[in-house]
Structures are given as C-alpha cells and as structure tokens.
Structure 1
Amino acid sequence: MENGTMPSYFYFTLFKEFVHMKYLILIFILAVYLAIILFNAIILFVVFKERSLHEPMYILISCLSVNDLYGSAGFFPRIMVDLLSDTNTISRPACYVQIFTIYSYAISEYTILTLMAYDRYVAICNPLKYHKIMTSKVTALYMAIASLHAAFSMGLIILFSARLPLCGTDIARLYCSNWSVVRLSCGTSTLSNNIIGFFVSATTVFLPAFFILYTYVRILVICQKSSKEFRGKALQTCLPHIISFLNYSIASFCDIALSRYDSDKYKIVAIIFSVEFLVIPPVLNPLIYGLNLPEIRKNILCLFQRSKIANFPE
C-alpha cells in the first residue's frame, strides 16, 4: 500500500487520437446504438405479445435481447459522453460499475447461448420428453441461476481488483476493463487476481463452449440417422444459434487475446477487436433470429403490416 494510491479518477488516453473526427464517430455510434435498441425491442415485443411464442426457445431468445440491451447500456452512453468530453475522465466507482456491467453482460451472453444449446439438444435428441424437461418454470430457474452466477463472478473479480494499490490513472482503452485497472497496480502481487480471472474464464467461457460443442455433436449424430425433412427442420432452428455462438466466440476471443497485449503498430485493429463483442452481437442477434426463425419472422411481418394499415389514411 505504501507504494501505491487509490486514485479518485481514471483517464481514457485513446480519445485524444480521435479528436478531429469525434463528431463523425459520435453519429456512427449513436446510429448503431439506436439500431440495437430498435432491433432488440422488436424481438421482445413480438415474443411477449404473441402467445404462440411463449415457449422456452423464444423466451431464451428474448433473454438474449434483454442482455444485449443491458450490455449496450453499459458501453454506448458512456462512450458518447467521452467523445464529447475534453477531459475523458471516469470516477473510480463509475469505472467499476462499467466493468461489472460489461463483463456480467459477457458472462450472461455465453450462459444464455449455453441454455439455448441445451434447449435445442433436448428438443432434437429427446423430443418426447421436451415439454417435461423444458418447462417455463425450469427455464426461469435456469435464467435466475445464470444471472446470479454472472453477478457473483463479477462481484468477486471487482472485490479483488478494488483492493489493489495503483501507481497510475491512464487506461488505454475506450472503456474500463478489469485488466486495464489491474495492470496499474504496484507494490503488491496480482497472483490472486490472475487465479480468480482464470477460474471465472474457465467456468463462464471454456466450459460452456465445450458443452455447446458437445450438444451439437450429439445433434449431428441424431440428424445423420434421421430423415431429410427432420434434418432440414433441425438445421432451421439450430442455424441461428450456431451463427450467434460463433460470432460471439470470435468476438470474445479477440477481446481476451488482445486485453493483455499492447501494440502501437496495430492500435486501431486492437481498438476494433476490443469493442467487437459489445457492438456486433447486439446488432446481429435480433437480425439472425428475426430473419431465420419462421415464427418470429412471420409475426414481425404481421406487426409491420398492421402498422401500415393503421397509419394508412382513409
């Protein structure tokens, strides 16, 4: 503690490099954020309005949209404020709140994708027992456990990070990340932080990824033994999830791989990859499910048709 302090503020150093085009970036970010809100709000409205969609698969899709809105709220409003700010500072408590929000979103995203994979596994591999296994109460229980797990994991990480004495205030990212704060520590060992970080990564990223891969191996085995019509229906319901899983896995891997790597030569690439998991999945997920799943697509089209009729002058 004697070699470090507990600073009241952190300073984002990257924003000074975009000062000449900050308004152009601001317009782009605002457009993306509004698109995220609109796309996910449509999915939520359609799922909760239509009783035929009150099934575990669609409920989990709506949970994914809620989580995307939650994660986006932790990133987009703050970055728009920082683009307009001259100081680019963030208070210590606000920094930890942003860390909690962004990374609890990341944990929950993987957990929801895991539950969606399990839902498809039960529906395809045990169709006769599906309605007994995947009830609304069971789905709600799974989501409650997933939310508590994300909150507990991030609470533990922040608890270990907040106690570290720091020798600097500069964060070379567009938002507060746990490692960007931990690396500022001095005068004490960060071994416990690394152990906790590895444990959380193993239980929230790697284990779910292996489980998802396992479920799809089993699904492929079942599909190979089934009719062509059955394979087509299975692919139709699984394809959006596979795309979402691959999209989010690549984005998460880029953030994890580059979070502890500094390079002035590839700074722009590093910046893009560091925010990809916060931008791409929330935009693509509602489009993937809205366009690929017939029931959701049909209800969205009906929604817009009713809107046109209501607004058409008599």
Structure 2
Amino acid sequence: MDNVSDVRIFTLTGINETMDHRTAIFSLTLVYYCVILFLNVSLIVIIVLDENLHEPMYVLLCCVCINAVYGNTGFYPMFLLNLLWFTQKISYGWCLFQAFVLYSFACCELSILAVMAYDRYLAICRPLHYQSLMTIRRLSQLVGFSWLTPFCIFSISILLTSRLKLCSLKIKKLFCVNWIIVQLACQDSDTLSNTVVSYATILIYVSHGFFIIWTYMHIIRTCATSKDDRVKFMQTCLPHLVSLITFLTVIVFDLMYMRYSSTDLPQSLQNFIAIEFVLFPPMMNRLIYGFKLTKIRNRILSLFRIGGQ
C-alpha cells in the first residue's frame, strides 16, 4: 500500500452507522453533554464558593469534575459537529489532539481516584496524623502529580506517533485513539518505541489500581472493628468506591476490546463500547457524589430552598 502520510485528513468510519438516525442522535447527545456540563460545573461552583467544603476530599472531587469537563469536551463537540456537517472527516492535527485529550483524561481520572483513596486511608486508618500528613502543600503536590504525569507521558506518546509514516487513513471508531493511529503505520515504520511507551503507561496505571486496592484493604479492615468508621466509610468511601469500580470497568473493558476485539460485532455495538468511558462515569458518578456526600447534598438542598422562596 502506498504511503499516505502526507494526506492530513482521517476518516472516522464508526460514524457511518449513526448517520441513519443523525437528528435523533444529535439531539440526545447535545442534551446529554449539556447535562454532564451542568452537573460537573455545578459541583465545581458549589465546592469553590462554600468555604465549609474546602477540605481535601471535596477539593479532590472538584478536580474530578474539572477533569470530566476537560475529557468530555475532547469528545462531544467534535462528534456533534460531525453529525451536524454530515462529515466523517477529522484533520490529522485535531485527531492527535483528541487522542491526547481522551488518553490524558482517562489517566488523570485514575490518578485522582488514587489520591482520593489515599486521603480516605489517612482519614480512617490514621486519623491522628491526618492533619499533619494531608496538608495544603501535600494536597497540591498530589493533584499536580495527577495532572502533570499523564500530560507528560501522552505528550511523548503523541510525539512518537506523529513521526510515523501512515499507510491508511481510516479509523474504525467515533473518535481518534493513539493506539489505532499507530496500527495505521506502514510496515516499514518503527513502532517499537510507541509499543514500549504504551505498555509502560499501562504498567504505571495498573500500579495505581493496585495501590487503590491496598488502601481499601486497610480501610475495610479498620472499619470492621469500629462502628464510627463504618459510618464514615458509608458516607465518604462508598461514593468513591462506586465511582472507581464504574470507571475501571469501562476503561478495562474498552482497553481489552480495542486490542483484542473481533470486527464481527455490529458497528453500533462497537460504537457503544468505545464511548462507555465518556458516557457513564461523568454522569453517574456526579449523581452519586451529589446525593451521597452529606455536605454536598445539604448544600444542594439549601440552594433549592433559597431558589424556591
């Protein structure tokens, strides 16, 4: 196959299946994206404006919401434009940028969830040392690490991808994915460095998952011997645990499907699998946090009471 790397337009073949119901899908997607923005921005504003919520747990929740706005904005506007313009095209530069945003969003989410697990571990298992260990400076360092590490890793990954010669321009998804772009490289292209970075990234974030499991083993062990700790677990840890399980399930499923899937599945089902991580966690997790965390729930109810007067 001829080298087509000089052509700077990709075709997103996954969108073809949606064009038969373009108007309905556009309307539902637009409403859903607006609801996601509303829920996340509302929680951000509530946490920023209410000084009673300026605690590590709520600051981290605010970071999760900011990350959700960032990640979902990397997918929904471009998808909506493609539906609106009857096009399945995306420029090479925007494709790489979208891949960077979505990858960094997913890894930032896992990093912040790991920091939240560490925060809950200190609060429940080492309460006497919590204030001295979870200081503003330590919290800032952990949040900075959660953001900067994925940005650095995927900057390198996207840079390595950008140097590849491509022999195909068809991406069988609704959006751009770095690993899919690498698979479009010509046979004589050196993709070893891309593979090494990819598996190193997986190793780094799998270690995040093991760290979270380790913290929750200690948390559950501590809560089993104390009624007060069990109450604290149900109020603050359960929303985080549900959020974590939801996120990990859709990410692992998508990762396994992307690398080892069969193309025999209907395209519509492939599309649904592909967008799970921007479909369920940003909506469901915010509802869980909003209704389960007492201070957040009380603040929301107080706003409704004020608005109803």
What TM-score results when the alignment is normalised by the length of structure 1?
A: 0.94
Match of 1:252 in 2: 251
Q: Report the alpha carbon displacement of residue 230 of structure 1 after superposing the two structures with TM.
A: 2.7
Q: Which residue of 2 aligns with 1:179?
A: 179
Matched, 1:240 2:239: yes
Aligned to 2:10: 10
Match of 2:159 in 1: 159
Shift in Å at residue 4 of structure 1? 5.4
Identity %: 35
On the 8 A contact 1:10/1:91 being kept in 2, the answer is yes
**CA–CA separation in structure 2 for the residues paired with 1:264 and 1:286:** 35
The C-alpha deviation readout for 1:4-24, integer Å capped at 9, x for no partner, is: 533211011122222220110
C-alpha separation between the residues in 2 aligned to 1:250 and 1:286? 17
- Which string of whole-angstrom CA distances, capped at 9 and with x for unpartnered residues, describes residues 78-102 of structure 1? 0000112233211111111101111
Match of 1:191 in 2: 192
Q: Secondary structure at the match of 1:130?
A: helix
Partner Cα separation in structure 2 for residue 74 and residue 192 of structure 1: 26
Structure 1 segments (4+ residues) deviating >4 Å = none
Unaligned regions of 5+ residues in structure 1, if any?
310-314
Q: What residue identity is the alignment partner of 1:241?
A: H
Between the two proteins, the alignment pairs up a number of residues equal to 307
When structure 1 is superposed on structure 2, of 257-266 and 30-39 the one drifting more is 257-266
Pairwise CA distance, 1:138:
1.4
2:288 and 2:113 map into 1 onto residues whose CA distance is: 14
Are 1:278 and 2:278 counterparts? yes
Alignment of 1:84-99 (within 5 A): 84-99=84-99
AA of the residue aligned to 1:100:
F
**TM-score, reference length from structure 2:** 0.96
Say whether the 8 Å CA contact 1:75–1:102 is kept in structure 2.
yes
Matched AA of 1:190: T
- Worse-superposed segment, 216-225 or 186-195: 186-195
Q: Residue in 2 aligned with 1:312? A: none
- 8 Å contact 2:14–2:267 — kept in the other structure? no
Counterpart of 1:159 in structure 2: which amino acid? L
Matched, 1:108 2:108: yes
List runs of 5+ in structure 2 lacking aligned partners.
none
Residues 4 and 185, structure 1, Cα contact 8 Å, conserved in 2: no
Distance 2:4 2:125 in 1: 57
Distance 2:43 2:174 in 1: 29
Query: Would you say the 8 A contact 1:55–1:136 is kept in 2?
Result: no
CA distance in 2, matches of 1:87, 1:217: 49
Give 1:266 deviation, angstroms.
4.0
Distance 1:100 1:197 in 2: 13
What is the aligned partner in structure 1 of residue 54 from structure 2?
Answer: 54
Structure 1 segment 185-224 matched on structure 2, within 5 A:
185-186=185-186, 187-204=188-205, 206-224=206-224
SS of residue in 1 equivalent to 2:11: strand
Distance 1:213 1:293 in 2: 22
